[in-house]
Structure 1
Amino acid sequence: MLLLVPRDPLAPRRVDPHLADEAAAARELGVPVALVDHDELDRPDGDADAAVRGVPADDDAVYRGWMLRSERYAAMAGALARRGTTLRTSAEQYRAAHELPGWYATLEGLTPESRWSGDDVSWLDGAPAVLRDFTKSLKHSWDEACFVPDTADAAAAGRVVARFRELRGEDLVGDVVVRRFERFTGAEARTWWVGGRCALVTAHPDTPGEVPSGVDVGAVGGAVAALGLPFVSVDLVRRDDGAWRVVELGDGQVSDRPSSTPAADLVGALVAA
């Protein structure tokens, strides 16, 4: 395995400080580490070949770093392939994990009901809704651009949708996704799945000191395995009726690790696979 991590923009020969502990853990496990230029990769017109110039050839590369749009990940995968380096997660697999439409059908019934046919919220018949796009919500702007308390109030709902679009701006991915609001209790757990198996259960990065007890990964295990994705994170939380629900599924390469989880735990799970 080869671990790819972003370089520090201020010190290009060093690892980005946010990933330094994972790079160190990899080296301690005998895993080589190579740097990529995330800023170059992230630009719509960025030179992906230049961004991965220092990466050696390898047949099992895993990226751990900042989020990339699906098309930019595909550009990185192509540039690496030209160097003889194969990512464990293909561009198609990354898009399937990174964007909600790629995983929703397989997890339908385990996650809140969702539609992404534009700004229409009327299908919820007045029930509350939560907004997001294919990759991200604005939960920190909850009342302003995320939560629609009454979808029967078309004018009020329209204002929330419009504000969501305004705040996401050029960062909007895909289209607005309308999700049925469900009432959750307790902290979220972030579960990490490698090769279709749950390798690690951690706190969510937003609540690093709170790891929920009794997380039922078996309730979602069959569906996650059916996706056939190499490395994903699945955020789980209890609904107020006690059922464990999928809040989010994401590509594990760009999912943040909570500060309370040692880097060696996650890197070790990737190496073991």
Structure 2
Amino acid sequence: MVDHDALTRDDPQCAVAAVPAGGVAVYRGWMLRSDQYTAFTEALTARGVTLRTNSDQYCRAHELPGWYPSLAPVTPTSTWTTSAQRIAFDQARTRLGAGAAVLRDYTKSMKHHWSEAAFIPDLLDPTTAWQIATRFIELRADDFTGGFVLRAFEHFTTAEVRTWWINGACALIGAHPDTPDELPPADVDLTTLTPLIAALDLPFVTVDLAQRDDGTWRVVELGDGQVNDRPTTVSPHDFATALLTDALAHR
């Protein structure tokens, strides 16, 4: 019902022309920049449609600086810049300290280009660190969002697990879409995480987890549930049933 291409060329009225007027809606589609999502919500509002996730909530879920402060105890130590300038990058690198780090921007890493654009072996090596940052910018190109984010490297021993949350309650646990056949263990411990997610007061998010080498489950990423994919090992029927059941239970 939504023309994503029209959204990304900044024509939100055209993008929502096929959406029936009136009611409350949940978007399921490709990722949008926060400013595009704001324009999207405004175009829908003009049609009498209210998105369940407002633009402020989307931004807080979609961009790391929005959710990191609340989840700092359960995710790798992070710092970030507000630009792509080298001086800002070096200041952030110095703030994080020594050791290895993972580089990303506010919304995405280049983990599939691990050695050239994601993993910084030594924060005290400014030349190599900046080479990796430069390559990251080249690969992200126009999709570069916000600024650099540097996250302290932690050694994980499991594939990532994707969890789905509605109104602060976990509705579904499954594999990560990048590793759909690596199913999560039965003992994923959400005890510490649950009150932290609830306190974020976000209606629909995903939280990707991995187990650190000391056995602790750590948050790798939080994202808006509307724009995050499901693994192929979770059927569309099971996915929709789990989310609808939990949504109805927490109305």
TM-score normalised to the size of structure 1?
0.84
Aligned counterpart in structure 1 of residue 89 of structure 2, from 119, 123, 142? 119
Taking the aligned partners of 2:19 and 2:137, their CA distance within structure 1 comes to: 37
Aligned to 2:85: none
Aligned to 2:31: 67
Do residues 37 (structure 1) and 3 (structure 2) align?
yes
Following TM superposition, by how much is the alpha carbon of 1:270 offset from its aligned partner in structure 2, in angstroms? 3.4
The residue type paired with residue 181 of structure 2 is G
Following TM superposition, by how much is the alpha carbon of 1:217 offset from its aligned partner in structure 2, in angstroms? 1.9
Q: How does 1:51-130 map to 2 (within 5 A)?
A: 51-117=15-81, 118-120=88-90, 121-130=93-102
Following TM superposition, by how much is the alpha carbon of 1:174 offset from its aligned partner in structure 2, in angstroms? 0.1
Aligned to 1:265: 238
SS at 1:119 equivalent: helix
Structure 2 stretches lacking a partner, 5+ long: 82-87
CA offsets per residue over residues 151-171 of structure 1, 9 Å max, x none? 111111111111112221211
Aligned to 1:3: none
Taking the aligned partners of 1:264 and 1:64, their CA distance within structure 2 comes to: 15
Alpha-carbon contact 2:79-2:95 (below 8 Å) kept: no
Do residues 245 (structure 1) and 209 (structure 2) align?
no
The residue type paired with residue 5 of structure 2 is D
Alpha-carbon contact 2:169-2:194 (below 8 Å) kept: yes
Root-mean-square deviation (CA), in Å? 1.1
SS at 2:210 equivalent: strand
Quick one: percent identity of the two aligned structures? 56
SS at 1:250 equivalent: strand
Aligned to 1:19: none
Aligned counterpart in structure 1 of residue 126 of structure 2, from 123, 138, 154? 154
SS at 1:63 equivalent: coil
TM-score normalised to the size of structure 2?
0.92
Do residues 171 (structure 1) and 143 (structure 2) align?
yes
Following TM superposition, by how much is the alpha carbon of 1:125 offset from its aligned partner in structure 2, in angstroms? 3.3
Aligned counterpart in structure 1 of residue 207 of structure 2, from 217, 234, 241? 234
CA offsets per residue over residues 104-163 of structure 1, 9 Å max, x none? 000011100100133121234330010000000000111101111011111111111111
The residue type paired with residue 220 of structure 1 is L
Aligned counterpart in structure 2 of residue 184 of structure 1, from 146, 150, 156? 156
Aligned counterpart in structure 2 of residue 256 of structure 1, from 213, 217, 229? 229
Aligned counterpart in structure 2 of residue 48 of structure 1, from 12, 19, 24? 12
Aligned to 2:170: 198
Following TM superposition, by how much is the alpha carbon of 1:56 offset from its aligned partner in structure 2, in angstroms? 1.2
The residue type paired with residue 88 of structure 1 is R
Taking the aligned partners of 2:182 and 2:238, their CA distance within structure 1 comes to: 17
Alpha-carbon contact 1:126-1:153 (below 8 Å) kept: no
